[in-house]
Amino acid sequence: MNGFPDNARVCFLGDSITHNNEFVSRISAYYHENLKERNVNFYNCGVSGGGIYTLLQIFDEDIISRKPTHAVIMIGINDSGRDSLAMPRGEERYRLLNEHFENYKKNLDLLTKKLTDNNVEIILCTPHLMMNIRCRTLLHCRVDMPCFPHMPIMCEAMLQAMDISSAIITNIYPKQLSIKP
């Protein structure tokens, strides 16, 4: 895809990383400054603290009501069960992480299906890692490793969803791993 087509209506779906509007506003500004003739409209449908389940709850009222032609999805950090990582290693911790992961896959499938059923072209972005110093300190992560060692599995689920839904994928995970705090 070489950018959004003329008269596209693009909804950005995600959590606080989307809701804070930084990357959404940069893309919107680029189009309005450099590709004004395309008449592309952008809508920030990010929900701080939300996960895929939240997006499913607001789907009709806040997403499909905007009649999107495209949806950019970057979500997963709040679906990851990252609080479970503070638990001692053991059966309960892994059970909870697996439960969160299975819910993430199931809800991602539901969301992509709802979008494709409404003829919305999907662009999936692998989840953000949120590797900040506070997080590393709380979870006792080494500086040279990602805080959330289970995030590659969630990124893989996103890649599998792409295969199922024929969506376009943006894999930001390798780039995030290269960033040093």
3-state SS string for 96-109: HHHHHHHHHHHHHH
Tens of pLDDT, residue by residue over 3-60, are 899 999 999 998 887 888 778 888 899 999 999 999 999 999 999 888 889 999 999 9
Amino acid identity of residue 114, one-letter, is: K
Please, which residues have CB within 8 angstroms of residue 60's CB and are 6 or more apart in sequence? none
Question: What is the pTM assigned to this prediction?
Answer: 0.76
- Helix, strand, coil proportions of the chain in percent (round to 5)? 55, 15, 35
pLDDT at 149: 53
| Phi and psi at residue 103, to the nearest 5° | -65, -40
Q: How far is CA 130 from the centre of its chain?
A: 12
Query: Residues 143, 99: contact at Cβ < 8 Å?
Result: no
Mean pLDDT taken over the chain: 77
CATH code matching the domain that covers 9-177, chosen among 3.40.640.10, 3.90.1300.10, 3.40.50.1110, 1.20.1330.10:
3.40.50.1110
